[in-house]
Amino acid sequence: MAGKPQPESIKHLEAYRAYLRQPTPRNIRKLAQEIKVPWRTLFGWRSRYQWRERALAYDRRLIDAAAAEREEEQATVRVVHNFYQACKFNMADFATTVKKRHERGEPVTANEAHTTMRILEMLERNYATILQQAAEPELLA
């Protein structure tokens, strides 16, 4: 009758964490030098506690998390771009309306004229500049 496998001790977990911190491909002999444990002992622990499999699963979770973050960032950029396009068209319509009213001799308030000038300045800027300014609000002043 085989006994239950023993759970990892604190010493084993610390060695495993050091193993995880290694760049891939991970190396037991280098780990042995780093943490001052005989490499044969570490080979046994790696096998007994399935370090390779667990490390691969850990690496996969990190890769998946990075990919999800990248996808979320790209989705955010798409939303911002679409919002910018919608705002750009609305701002252009406003500026065109104010300009036509002015050309027909209809009254235009100072606020409308100022807003129109700001809109025209913004429409001249490219998308990358607007994104940069959104990230650095002090530049909008």
pLDDT tens digit sequence for 57-72: 999 999 999 999 989 8
Contact between 28 and 42 (Cβ < 8 Å): yes
- Kindly report whether the global pTM for this prediction surpasses the value 0.95: no
In the 3-class helix/strand/coil scheme, how is 79-104 assigned residue by residue? HHHHHHHHHHHHHHHHHHHHHHHHHC
Q: How far is CA 32 from CA 39, 49, 56, in A?
A: 5, 16, 20
Question: Per residue of the chain (141 residues), what is the pLDDT tens digit?
Answer: 455 667 899 999 999 999 999 999 999 999 999 999 999 999 999 999 999 999 999 999 999 999 999 898 888 888 877 887 787 778 778 888 888 888 999 888 888 888 888 877 777 776 667 666 666 655 444
Domain boundaries, the chain: 8-49, 68-141
Read off the pLDDT of residues 76-89 as tens digits, 9 standing for 90 and up.
888 877 887 787 77
Our measurement of the distance from residue 120's CA atom to the centroid of its chain's CA atoms, rounded to an integer in Å, reads 32
